[in-house]
Amino acid sequence: MSSHTNRQELRISKLDQVFNSTGSGIPSSATTNLLSARSTFQALEKSLKKETSKWWEVASLKKYLENDRIPRGLRILIFPPIDTTSSEHLLKWEANLKLASTNMIKQLIEISQDEYEKHRTEVDKLTQNIEEANWGEIINKNYAILNNIIDRYEEDIIQRKKRKFIRDLHDYQQGRVYTFHKNYDNIKDSNPSLEIQSCPETLTSSDLESPDDTERCSSTRPLVNFSEEARRYRLGTLKDIRTKPPDTIIEAPSTSGIQTRARSRNPRP
């Protein structure tokens, strides 16, 4: 028998192995379910983070409106090049700035609400797909992991919202709503504990890796540029402030479970 014939037979044998549905190289149904479940839960984690972020963004902005406050990042720091020693003119000017900021907050609420609705729909769709899938114990295990990830992610958002609200509350109590960025060097010299705040680390999971961190860390950026010292002060936080959060601070929703927690947010903000 020629070598060519042997090679052809060997190829046919290999061909049968490749397309043999009972071969060991073909993934079992359990393996397929595991891969499918992993992919679906990763998508659910990503959508839940986006949905959670937008829910808190809408709820927080509404709380600022209820408390008649403007967050630093939405305060317009523009003043006329005239003598502003007159308290009457200054109060009128600041009232106009506040009105503009309030209108921007209302529009941001509308924008974020639309984004929330989109992510809410994605979460509902993925949750339904999981409930209809025949994945057995894989579902319960991954829900437990995902619940823990989202709880930690949401708690991180809550703590940052609290810090910013207390910071903004102090601006109003101290009459520094539109002058909070001034005299940074003097404040730093008298408060050596003043430090620059950094972005929180992205939450990760060895079991469910998220390809994207949806909660972007953003500094409170005013709508005009000013000095580097002022920018550094905006990003700073005074460690010696130990004020108890006011009763008006927003409370976290129930965390009894992903489906329960997500649905408990209806009616939507």
- Whether omega before 211 lies within 30 degrees of 0, making that bond cis, reads no
Q: What is the per-residue pLDDT across 121-174, written as a single tens digit (0 to 9) for each?
A: 999 999 998 888 877 788 888 899 999 999 999 999 999 999 999 999 999 999
| DSSP code for 233 | H
Determine contact, residues 250/269, Cβ cutoff 8 Å: no
pTM, full prediction: 0.58
- 99-119: per-residue pLDDT in tens? 999 999 999 999 999 999 999
Residue 48 CB-half CA count within 13 A:
27
Tally the C-alpha atoms within 13 A of residue 176's C-alpha that lie toward its C-beta: 15
Task: Find out whether 60 and 250 touch, Cβ atoms under 8 Å.
Answer: yes
To 10 degrees, what angle do helices 137-173 and 29-66 make? 20
Distance CA 75, CA 80 (A): 15
